[in-house]
Structure 1
Amino acid sequence: MERVKRTVSERPLVIFTRSSCCISHAIITLLSNFGSNPAIPDLNQIQKGREMEKALLRLGYDTVPVVFIGSELVGGVNEVTSGHVEGSLVPMLRRAGAIFV
């Protein structure tokens, strides 16, 4: 869990993903199109990725992507998409300093 906490504290936007996940790619594209530059730890490729995956599971997420904005857990694809549709996603990104426009 410490590794996840450290990772999300280092950047305003973190998207945990797996290289094989097309939904992760869609969320990365969505958030990047707002002008963000997310940290994207790929759980298949990083050292101790399996350990981080287990920590995310303890937070209630057994699938990727898992998105943190401003060190706060936003959630997975459903929560990010809902936030976008409701109009709360961009203000959240601004408050965290992940985007500036």
Structure 2
Amino acid sequence: MAYSCHQFARSAMADRVTNLASQRAVVIFGASNCCMCHAVNTLFTELGVSWTVHELDKDPRGKDVERVLVGMVGRNPPAPAVFIGGRLVGTTDQVMMLHVGGQLVLLLRQAGALWL
């Protein structure tokens, strides 16, 4: 099967997103001017979680990453796209639902993001 340059670039970018998402227990792809990103970042800080953020608006390849994330989360804009333990949790809505439902802390513990 032959791949076009566009398909290869998208596949390479998807691999990059997957790699970045698995480097830390909690990884957030967001934007510096996104209020929902700020809300999620604040939640994790208040929970005592050490997280890594990749701000797409400051990344020279941010638009390419954003296109991949749109496909993964199923909405545009995709920010914040939250990964816990290398797995996509979703955006603000999913993170807040997990938090309110008492499941977020369990996921964070399983990923090694929380010790207590």
Gaps in structure 2 of 5+ consecutive residues: 1-13
1:61 and 2:55 aligned: no
The equivalent position to 1:42 in structure 2, one of 55, 71, 93, is: 55
- Offset, 1:98: 1.0
Provide Cα deviations, 1:7-45, integer angstroms capped at 9, x if missing partner: 011111001111110111011000111111111000000
User: Among the aligned pairs, what percent are the same residue?
Assistant: 39
Match runs of 1:1-101 below 5 Å: 1-59=14-72, 60-63=74-77, 64-101=79-116
Q: Secondary structure of the equivalent of 1:41?
A: strand
Amino acid of the structure 1 residue aligned with 2:45:
S
Gaps in structure 1 of 5+ consecutive residues: none
1:99–1:61 CA distance, 2 compared to 1 (3 A): farther
TM-score, normalised on structure 2?
0.83
User: Contact 1:61/1:76 (CA < 8 Å) preserved in 2?
Assistant: no
Q: Which has the higher helix share?
A: 2
Q: Distance in 2 between matches of 1:81 and 1:10?
A: 23
Amino acid of the structure 1 residue aligned with 2:35:
C
Q: Distance in 2 between matches of 1:26 and 1:52?
A: 21
Q: CA RMSD in A?
A: 0.9
TM-score, normalised on structure 1?
0.95
